[in-house]
């Protein structure tokens, strides 16, 4: 008995890396998996049939999977991805939005193309499958069917939650995904569908591309024993979030790195000062705004 027996799951960007780990874990827990992957290079260029590699691994291990080669950020491809699960496999329970690319550069060197491509794949590539999946679940719900097995699991990054030098496009997209998760969780709540976000890690080609990181890219199936850099370390958390066990968990961001799960806290109100029912006088603010009140780290600010 697996946690996900009888469920149908989509994992985007599951031809390699972290997504491959999720697809293997969901299948091991009994789900039938649609393995989506565009099969491009790290910067998003090119196309291939890399989804087949993960489908073959799942099949070898006794699971059930089918491939999808669509672009998650294309609205028509995303619609076809949802239709593939519903029409060919009879239902849709789980959408894991994981696909991603990287085009790192400092903000002064970042081109418009670098910005647009990364925002497109991560942010629109999370919106598009979510949009079509929720439309499907909403239709089912309105027709009187239960959609309480519905799960959306998005992918942020530690870098997106705290900022990272040289990744303005990537961190903006990843922070946006965390905010998107909070809003969608509110919108799908009444149907019993949950929407959460994980922050994974692992020695994938994306991690190996970080200058000076000294990481060698390895696929999750190349690890035979526990390793902190195994890209599938977060996959058990994804399987749990996808299951009935986590039906009460929604709108949350969990970083699952190595053997730890960190419950991330959202933006929340910090110290507050009031002008006392009048407009602020900018010449008086320096005396009020100091490190003790706002913990400012901005260069040039006088404390
Ligand atoms: N590796 C890490 O340490 C780390 C840390 C935090 C977050 N993440 C996130 O985890 C996710 C997976 O990254 P990874 O490290 O496994 O990288 P990866 O490059 O190994 O895998 C990403 C996969 O997404 C696919 N993909 C890219 N664009 C696509 C598109 N438009 N449509 C469909 N598939 C597409 C690629 O072909 C690739 O197989 C990403 O969202 C990444 O931002 C990774």
Domain hosting 224: range is 8-264
Residue 271 inside a domain? The answer is no
Pocket test for ligand 1, best of 46, 202, 204, 253 (most atoms within 8 A of CB): 204
pLDDT tens-digit readout, 7-36: 999 999 999 999 999 999 999 999 999 999
Lowest mean pLDDT among 15-24, 81-90, 157-166, 169-178: 157-166
- The residue whose CA has the least distance to atom 37 of ligand 1 is 39
The pair of three-digit structure tokens given for residue 172, joined into one six-digit string: 């903006």
Q: Is 174 a catalytic residue?
A: yes
Q: Would you state the pLDDT for residue 293?
A: 66
Residue 173 belongs to some domain of the structure: yes
Q: How many distinct structural domains can be found in the chain?
A: 1
- Would the CB of 15 count as within 6 Å of ligand 1? yes
The answer to the question of residue 293 being in a domain is no
The β-bridge relationship of strands 253-257 and 260-264 is: antiparallel
159, part of any domain: yes
In a domain, 130, yes or no: yes
pLDDT band at 295 (very low <50, low <70, confident <90, very high): low
Q: Is the CB of 155 under 6 A from ligand 1?
A: yes
Cα(72) to centroid of ligand 1, in Å? 12
- Of 252-256, 269-273, 276-280, the one with minimum mean pLDDT is 269-273
**What confidence category does residue 303 fall into, taking pLDDT thresholds of 50, 70 and 90?**
very low
Helix residue ranges, H only, 143-272: 158-162, 168-188, 205-208, 235-241
List alpha helices for the chain, DSSP H: 17-28, 51-60, 75-83, 89, 112-119, 125-142, 158-162, 168-188, 205-208, 235-241, 285-288, 291-294
Name the catalytic one among 174, 185, 232, 243: 174
Per the domain annotation, does 272 fall within a domain? no
Band (pLDDT 50/70/90 cuts) for residue 301 is very low
The answer to whether residue 156 sits within a structural domain is yes
Taking only the tens place, the pLDDT of each residue in 119-134 is: 999 999 999 999 999 9
Q: Is residue 14 part of a domain?
A: yes
pLDDT at 61 over 90: yes
pTM higher than the cut 0.75: yes
Known catalytic membership, residue 157: yes
pLDDT at 302 over 50: no
CATH of the domain at 213: 3.40.50.720
DSSP run (H or E) holding 198: strand 194-199
Average pLDDT for 222-247? 97
Ligand 1 in contact with 176 (CB < 6 A)?
A: no
Q: What mean pLDDT do residues 165-185 have?
A: 97
Check pocket membership of 200 for ligand 1, CB cut-off 6 A: yes
């Amino acid at each position: 008995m697996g946690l996900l027996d009888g469920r149908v799951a989509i994992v985007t960007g599951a031809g390699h890396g972290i997504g491959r780990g999720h697809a293997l874990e969901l299948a091991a827990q009994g789900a039938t998996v649609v393995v989506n992957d565009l099969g491009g290079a790290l910067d998003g260029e090119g196309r291939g049939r890399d989804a087949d590699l993960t489908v073959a691994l799942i099949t070898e291990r006794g699971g059930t999977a089918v491939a999808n080669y669509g672009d998650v950020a294309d609205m028509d491809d995303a619609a076809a991805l949802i239709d593939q699960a519903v029409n060919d496999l009879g239902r849709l329970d789980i959408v894991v939005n994981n696909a991603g690319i990287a085009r790192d550069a400092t903000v002064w060197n970042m081109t418009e193309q670098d910005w647009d491509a990364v925002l497109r794949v991560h942010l629109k590539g999370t919106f598009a499958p979510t949009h079509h999946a929720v439309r499907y679940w909403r239709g089912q719900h309105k027709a009187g069917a239960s959609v309480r097995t519905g799960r959306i699991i998005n992918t942020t990054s530690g870098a997106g939650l705290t900022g990272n030098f040289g990744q303005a496009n990537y961190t903006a997209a990843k922070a946006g995904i965390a905010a998107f998760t909070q809003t969608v969780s509110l919108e799908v709540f009444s149907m019993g569908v949950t929407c959460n976000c994980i922050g994974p890690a692992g020695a994938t080609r994306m991690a190996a591309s970080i200058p000076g990181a000294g990481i060698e890219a390895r696929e999750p199936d190349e690890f035979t024993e526990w390793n902190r850099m195994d890209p599938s370390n977060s996959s058990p958390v994804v399987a749990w979030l996808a299951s009935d066990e986590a039906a009460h968990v929604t709108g949350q961001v969990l970083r699952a790195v190595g053997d730890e799960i960190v419950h991330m806290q959202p933006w929340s109100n910090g110290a507050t000062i009031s002008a006392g029912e009048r407009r602020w006088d900018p010449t008086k603010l320096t005396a009020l705004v100091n490190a003790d009140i706002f913990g400012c780290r901005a260069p040039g600010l006088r404390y």
